[in-house]
Structure 1
Amino acid sequence: MTDVEENVPLKDPGDAESGPCKPETSGPTRQYMSSPKNHPFSLIDTVNDVSKLSKEIGMNHDFHMEEKVLPPSSLEGRVKETMHNAFWDHLEEQLLATPPDFSCALELLKEIKEILLSLLLPRQNRLRSEIEEGLDMNLLRQEAEHGALNVPRLSKYILNMMTLLCAPIRDEAVQKLENITDPVRLLRGIFQVLGLMKMDMVNYTIQSLQPQLQEHSIQCERAKFQELLNKQPSLNHTTKWLTRAAADLSTPPPSCPDSPDSSSVVCPSPSEAANSPEPLNPKMVLSQGFLNLLLWDPEDEEFPETLLMDRAQLQELGAQLRQLTILASVLLVASSFSGSVLFGSPQLVDKLKRITKALMEELKSRPEEEAMLTVSEQVSQEIHQSLQNMGLAALSSDNTASLIGELQNITKKENCVHSVIGQRIHLFLKCCLVLGVQRSLLDLPGGLTLIEAELAELGQKFVNLTHHNQQVFGPFYMEILKTLIPPAQALETEVGSL
């Protein structure tokens, strides 16, 4: 989901000219595909100017737009609400005047007509003709001049048309409007629902264009990167990155240190699939390379040239990975002290997750030890209170001290729980690249089930980014990988799958 600031709809609704009687009708939308002639791509800071929105839509199959909702307490929200109320109050005064003044009503009807037309598909010519005839602005102006403009009748006609055009999810909202008898309240409700219908059309169009946007983004990004290579023919950092990934795969993984539940953990089948001892192949090396990027040192300037544009996003995913590692570690330690009965309560788990997530934000501005002390004290307090509420025996003073101590040390690299959870999340992400997110969620390693939703979100973002970059830079990667992997492994057959 993305909020944008430009009020440019995807389809051309024929916007009415702005005027004093025209309120805002919907939240922000934006033109998603622009003509390359109007918006040429240029090489600035290693292809950072490639359309990020086009790329995001192409990468994310679930991408959709939502109206930007201003907080009622914000200054902008209060100003907008005041202006809207003033407009509708003014419209009511005009309609109640003797004789009635229909100037604002006409502007309103004109914009409603344009919105309805914008919701039509190209093949819906009959409905287009009906709307043009039913809301003929020349005829409506003549009726208004003679004081004969029938606003209730027109509102009913608009509602009937909205019923035909709205998505099923909006049926209930349109039906509720039919019970409103006050003409001003009805028109205001019509505008609100039309705003939602416009956003539905935007998202429908985005989904329709998604394959074209994906291909457009891939071709443009690859072409512009080739321009960069023509000027600076060097992929030294990318080569080092892939070389390190190949070396990592050739080295046996370290054994997991002991943890509170390590003796009871059974490796799931996805994990076995991801770790199967197969000969090196391009997919394996690239997957390992992208996993290494999530743990990349921010101070290391030897970042792969092919991924400079996505460095900020990869760092963000790395930060999410670290937060989830801490969160799962906190929950695992807490459950080992409080017992399965207490942790069988979804309410307690959700509360501990909210507390830990909120306090982890302070890790960005406070010393880590200080922030984790606050986390350990808050979690210990919640467990104590929950045990008391359920009539269970409270933790002894020794157990309480041990709980706080273990929670406080979770962020340290040598901490066994932190190490085990980190390896398991790393393994889960590797499974996502091999088997997909949904299959990898079917059999999560021990200690990760309590953060399943968060892992699914992280895994999907990581898979989308990895897959997109493999499609864009596959030919460049293959040239490097040919020097790292023996030719006998039929590298050429892998090119199409990158």
Structure 2
Amino acid sequence: MESNGTGGEANAPENLLGTSPGASSLRSRTESECSDKLARFVLPSMDGSPPKVLTLNEVGDVLKNIQNMELVHEIAINPEFKFEPYEPPENSLERRIKDIMHKAFWDVLRGQLNENPPCYDHAIQLLAEIKDCFPQIISQNNTRALQHINEILDIDVIKQQAEEGVLDFRAYANFVIHLMAKSCAPARDELVRQLTEIEDVVDTFKNILETMALMKLDMVNYLLDFARNDIMANSVEYEKKKFKEYLEYYKFGFPATENWLKNSCIHDANNKPCSPEQTISNAYMELMDWDESKEFPEVLSIDKERILKLGQRAKRLCTCAAVISICSGVPVISQRTENRVALAKQIDIILQGTTNEKELLDSIENVWLQVKTVINEYLQKEDQPVIDANTEDMLKSQIMQTGNKDSPVRTLMWKRFQTYFRLAMRSRAGLPPPPPGYADFKDELEAYCTALKRVIAYNHSVFGEYFMKVLTQQRVTSTDTTTSAAAAAASATESVEPVSSSAAAVTEEKSVNSQ
């Protein structure tokens, strides 16, 4: 599988979108153990239809489609998405091999140039690679510049110059740097200028290649920004198409997704279940504070990390609102808007780095110390006495409790947060005003709601039909089961009724006799 560039088992469809217990892929060998064309993969079926047999290339296409879908999804969901240069981790085997190979290449180049007469084999190879890089950093529409590069970096001419001993390697370096200066983004101007200050020709070309790698990345991100609107406009249909193709191969269902939806179905006082639309809305609300002990919905697995991070972001925001609401009981905070706003920012900074409930709880002590210090400073500025011992103990107790998600103030703030987000989900004309306690965190509140709303709206566009199908089938099954149970109960009642009547009569007689 790795020979097809799929990354091994970590990227298999079952791992990306979940699997049912017992589902597996079986590969059968033919007479050619290494033949991609002859190897077969069997996807078993659980709905009575014959199992589907795929070639290795077909399986590779399935994995490639899922990987493409994940990339398109990330571009559409994350407006700040851009490609970053890849560097192997420090002290990793990959990093050591890379460093050794690169050092060997440049050492060989330096050694060849220092020979008498110089050998230009590696130098010519290097100029050929640089020539191939230019079409990736210069627009294809700039045919004049590309033609000029092909004329100057003519490898046949360079080879002739090397054979005649007149090859000026430094002149070619200056030509390349001159073109890079005209082609690079403004952010790379200083980096390109520094190339002209390097005296050693080998070090010059080494830095040229490193800079060109960054310029290629700039071009890729430029093209991405240019095409982002088109990608976003077509990404939903693309993902829906790929998901349907996946369902043709995978027919086991998604248990965690189905449980997530079914458990969000609320019944009213008459034991009537809410509508599928309301059930889906309730399910989305659960994503605000996902219980990590439960299995995450498989179809949302691409966004699992993003949703969990947003959940922690919501808890931080709720805790900040709870603390500032408690502090508003002190007049110097509640009656001085600038004091309250400044304190709110400081609390937000202290809790910014927390990534889970334990870290949040551990940071509350620092929050209290900051609150105490700031309030006393404000009081002293107004020539008022610092807070007394009783007030200090009360404030500390209440603030320390906010580290617990079940504390009264934090619970209240969380309910307001949920109500706000539910209104934000329904609103099509912008976000509603912040609820009480969140006015000082308006920007963060709106940023959070916009981010989670974008994730939910996008996934609903892709999987909404599938969710409705699951809930509709469940409702039909539930109705059929209820009808069958009612019919069975009615039949049983008819057959048992005479016996019941007799039993009632005996009971009544015993009651009379006992009296």
With the shorter chain as reference, the TM-score category is 0.5 to 0.7
Q: Which amino acid aligns with 1:116?
A: F
Select the residue among 334, 347, 350 that pairs with 1:355: 350
Aligned residue number for residue 210 of structure 1: 231
- 1:287-306 equivalences under 5 Å are 287-299=281-293
- 1:417-428 equivalences under 5 Å are 417-428=409-420
Q: Deviations over 1:314-364 (max 9, x none)?
A: 44443443343234434554565573554554xx76654343344x44744
Provide closer, same or farther for how the CA distance between residues 117 and 335 of structure 1 changes in structure 2, counting only shifts above 3 A. Answer: farther
Q: Which amino acid aligns with 2:244?
A: R
Aligned residue number for residue 452 of structure 2: 462
- Residues 364 and 399 in structure 2, CA contact (< 8 A), matched pair in contact too: yes
Larger gyration radius, structure 1 or structure 2: 2
- Residues 375 and 408 in structure 1, CA contact (< 8 A), matched pair in contact too: no
Alpha-carbon distance in 1 for matches of 2:68, 2:113 = 51
Aligned residue number for residue 430 of structure 1: 422
Alpha-carbon distance in 1 for matches of 2:190, 2:430 = 36
Instruction: Report the CA distance between 1:471 and its aligned residue.
Output: 1.7
Select the residue among 309, 314, 331 that pairs with 1:321: 314
Choose 406-415 or 88-97, whichever is displaced more.
88-97
Choose 382-391 or 201-210, whichever is displaced more.
382-391
Segments of 5+ residues of structure 1 without an aligned counterpart are 8-35, 252-279, 486-498
Provide closer, same or farther for how the CA distance between residues 314 and 153 of structure 1 changes in structure 2, counting only shifts above 3 A. Answer: same
- 1:332-481 equivalences under 5 Å are 332-333=325-326, 339=333, 340=336, 341-345=338-342, 352-358=347-353, 360-361=354-355, 363-364=357-358, 372=361, 374-386=362-374, 392=381, 394-435=386-427, 439-440=430-431, 443-448=433-438, 451=441, 454-455=444-445, 458-478=448-468
* Higher RCO (C-alpha 8 Å, min separation 6): 1
Alpha-carbon distance in 2 for matches of 1:447, 1:320 = 17
Aligned residue number for residue 242 of structure 2: 220
Segments of 5+ residues of structure 2 without an aligned counterpart are 8-56, 476-515
Alpha-carbon distance in 2 for matches of 1:240, 1:380 = 42
Instruction: Report the CA distance between 1:203 and its aligned residue.
Output: 2.3
Alpha-carbon distance in 1 for matches of 2:422, 2:279 = 11
Q: Which amino acid aligns with 1:222?
A: K
Instruction: Report the CA distance between 1:450 and its aligned residue.
Output: 5.1
Q: Deviations over 1:303-324 (max 9, x none)?
A: 7675567556544443443343
- Residues 320 and 347 in structure 2, CA contact (< 8 A), matched pair in contact too: no
Alpha-carbon distance in 1 for matches of 2:280, 2:311 = 17
Provide closer, same or farther for how the CA distance between residues 150 and 321 of structure 1 changes in structure 2, counting only shifts above 3 A. Answer: same
Instruction: Report the CA distance between 1:103 and its aligned residue.
Output: 4.2
TM-score (norm 2): 0.62
Alpha-carbon distance in 1 for matches of 2:285, 2:440 = 22
Q: Which amino acid aligns with 1:193?
A: T
Instruction: Report the CA distance between 1:114 and its aligned residue.
Output: 1.9
Instruction: Report the CA distance between 1:410 and its aligned residue.
Output: 0.9
| Identity among equivalent pairs (%) | 24
- Residues 309 and 355 in structure 2, CA contact (< 8 A), matched pair in contact too: no
Aligned residue number for residue 243 of structure 1: 265
Secondary structure of 1:39's counterpart equals helix
Secondary structure of 2:62's counterpart equals coil
Q: Which amino acid aligns with 1:326?
A: T
- Residues 159 and 178 in structure 1, CA contact (< 8 A), matched pair in contact too: yes
Provide closer, same or farther for how the CA distance between residues 315 and 78 of structure 1 changes in structure 2, counting only shifts above 3 A. Answer: same
Provide closer, same or farther for how the CA distance between residues 239 and 418 of structure 1 changes in structure 2, counting only shifts above 3 A. Answer: closer
Alpha-carbon distance in 1 for matches of 2:307, 2:313 = 10
Choose 476-485 or 454-463, whichever is displaced more.
476-485
Secondary structure of 2:239's counterpart equals helix
Instruction: Report the CA distance between 1:409 and its aligned residue.
Output: 0.7
- Residues 241 and 304 in structure 1, CA contact (< 8 A), matched pair in contact too: no
1:132 aligns with 2:145: no
Q: Which amino acid aligns with 1:215?
A: E
TM-score (norm 1): 0.64
Choose 191-200 or 172-181, whichever is displaced more.
172-181
Aligned residue number for residue 496 of structure 1: none
Select the residue among 65, 71, 79 that pairs with 2:83: 65
- Residues 328 and 447 in structure 1, CA contact (< 8 A), matched pair in contact too: yes
Provide closer, same or farther for how the CA distance between residues 186 and 446 of structure 1 changes in structure 2, counting only shifts above 3 A. Answer: farther
Select the residue among 186, 191, 195 that pairs with 2:213: 195
Q: Deviations over 1:449-469 (max 9, x none)?
A: 555565455434422321222
Q: Which amino acid aligns with 2:133?
A: I
1:105 aligns with 2:123: yes
Instruction: Report the CA distance between 1:300 and its aligned residue.
Output: 5.0
Secondary structure of 2:60's counterpart equals coil
Instruction: Report the CA distance between 1:182 and its aligned residue.
Output: 5.1
Q: Count residues with an aligned counterpart.
A: 408
Instruction: Report the CA distance between 1:242 and its aligned residue.
Output: 5.9
Aligned residue number for residue 26 of structure 2: none
Alpha-carbon distance in 1 for matches of 2:75, 2:290 = 26
Instruction: Report the CA distance between 1:472 and its aligned residue.
Output: 1.8
- Residues 262 and 471 in structure 2, CA contact (< 8 A), matched pair in contact too: no
Aligned residue number for residue 162 of structure 1: 180
Instruction: Give the alignment's Cα RMSD to 1 decimal.
Output: 4.8
- Residues 321 and 413 in structure 2, CA contact (< 8 A), matched pair in contact too: yes
Provide closer, same or farther for how the CA distance between residues 133 and 50 of structure 1 changes in structure 2, counting only shifts above 3 A. Answer: closer
Provide closer, same or farther for how the CA distance between residues 312 and 405 of structure 1 changes in structure 2, counting only shifts above 3 A. Answer: same
Secondary structure of 1:149's counterpart equals coil
Provide closer, same or farther for how the CA distance between residues 398 and 242 of structure 1 changes in structure 2, counting only shifts above 3 A. Answer: closer
Q: Which amino acid aligns with 1:407?
A: I
Secondary structure of 2:435's counterpart equals coil
